[in-house]
Structure 1
Amino acid sequence: MSRSRCVALLLVLVLCGAAQFAEACSCSPEHPQQAYCNADVVIRAKVVGQKEVVTGNDAYGNPIKMIQYDVKQIKMYKGPDGDIDAILTGPLPALCGVSLESTGKKEYLITGNMDSNGTLRINLCNYIESWESLSLTQKKNLGPRYQMGCDCKVVQCPMIPCSINGPAECLWTDWVMEGTVQGTQFQHYTCIKRSDSSCAWYRGYAPPKKEFMDNEEP
């Protein structure tokens, strides 16, 4: 086989491998409210240590390695009784692993789900953000306010035209209107059920009026 054909074949194999890794961790953007509602656990915490651990073996007998982050919980917004003191994630970003600073100096908002052993696991599809980068509205909405919208569904609009499928949905248009998923609706709005059981956007973090009108939508 000629050298040029070998290089071409190697390139194809590399690209195929990269595609497989990309497909292994493919995530759709989530509005913070939807991430809150979908998570088993939502906490504010500092990461104070990390280590590689083996959590079992795969079908071929190879050890399954994970990164364990030791955390100091500051506040729990959603989750089981008792503090969360450790989190597991994949060892590499290609395997959906999350990279966090473990110096104990940086605070994070962390959402994740519990496994069958009662251990909190996180991946790149979870909403994990530094606490200081959150808007005031996002910080205030954590807990009861986002919980009020868990009967609603935030639907992203990736391109125009787009629409909702029913009254229990709110259309998230940050990407098409502002060119970023972390736009105005992401930072300042909550999708809340109204008195007629339909859902609509509500701005701010003060308790909404018993009945609120469409002019409060973006």
Structure 2
Amino acid sequence: MSRSRCVPLLLLVLCGAAEFAEACSCSPEHPQQAYCNADVVIRAKVVGQKEVVTGNDVYGYPIKMIRYDIKQIKMFKGPDGDIDAIFTGPSSALCGVNLESSGQKEYLITGNMDSNGTLRINLCDYIESWESLSLTQKKSLGQRYQMGCDCKVVQCPTIPCSINDPTECLWTDWVLEGTVQGTQAQHYTCIKRSDSSCAWYRGSTPPKREFMDIEDP
């Protein structure tokens, strides 16, 4: 499955401490697809932050990152053991994520581990305040979304649009509702059916083994 990519549109120009870049460009992801693509999915509070140097680039200039110290509340997907810190770029121009670090706000955080086992996040990862998630989204984290990881959610950016494979589900929130946080994102999961094709499922519990058609709660 393809990952949502975070790409600075202008490469860094390094001159002493000066760094220049334009905003990130991201392809939106349905929360199920974000869950499946991520190495780590956790619910956490941010309890501290500081700028750190994580090494040097090929020219010898320091690579700066923001380290967020977190209190993990629950891990839905990831390695054994708690994660106590995440790293992101120092600014939104470098795809950095700005999180509230007072310890009062809970987040759903998705991200990927680097070769050193460090969890890194960027603006293209699915990161939302926990309270903004629908009840269905909260219940889907884990088994329900995992059941859909053999499927692929394909965004419909403009009409007409269609799927090209029976293992795909067409995501139409943007064209029908003008938001990527619409009905399908908040209430539906794309899950493989008994004939190995995939279809949208709406329900508060995982579908039956013989699931064939869309079901309502």
Instruction: Measure how far apart 1:204 and its partner are.
Output: 2.0
1:55: which partner in 2? 54
How many residues align? The count is 198
Q: Which has the higher helix share?
A: 1
Is 1:21 matched up with 2:22?
A: yes
2:168: which partner in 1? 169
1:45: which partner in 2? 44
Q: Is the 8 A contact 2:194 2:210 kept in 1?
A: yes
Distance 2:41 2:130 in 1: 12
SS at structure 1 position matched to 2:73: strand
5+ residue gaps, structure 2, are 1-12, 14-19
Matches within 5 A, 1:104-115: 104-115=103-114
Distance 1:100 1:210 in 2: 40
1:193: which partner in 2? 192
Distance 1:94 1:164 in 2: 33
Deviation digits for residues 180-214 of structure 1, max 9, x if unmatched? Answer: 11100000000000000000000022121222343
5+ residue gaps, structure 1, are 1-16
Larger of the two Rg values belongs to structure? 1
Deviation digits for residues 109-167 of structure 1, max 9, x if unmatched? Answer: 00000001000000000000000000000000000110000000000000001011100
Distance 1:20 1:105 in 2: 32
Distance 2:213 2:159 in 1: 21
Q: Is the 8 A contact 2:36 2:145 kept in 1?
A: yes
RMSD of aligned residue pairs (Cα, Å): 1.5
Matches within 5 A, 1:80-159: 80-159=79-158
1:160: which partner in 2? 159
Runs of 4+ in 1 over 2 A off after TM superposition: 209-217
Q: TM-score, normalised by structure 1?
A: 0.88
Task: Provide closer, same or farther for how the CA distance between residues 111 and 192 of structure 1 changes in structure 2, counting only shifts above 3 A.
Answer: same
**How many percent of aligned residue pairs carry the same amino acid?**
86
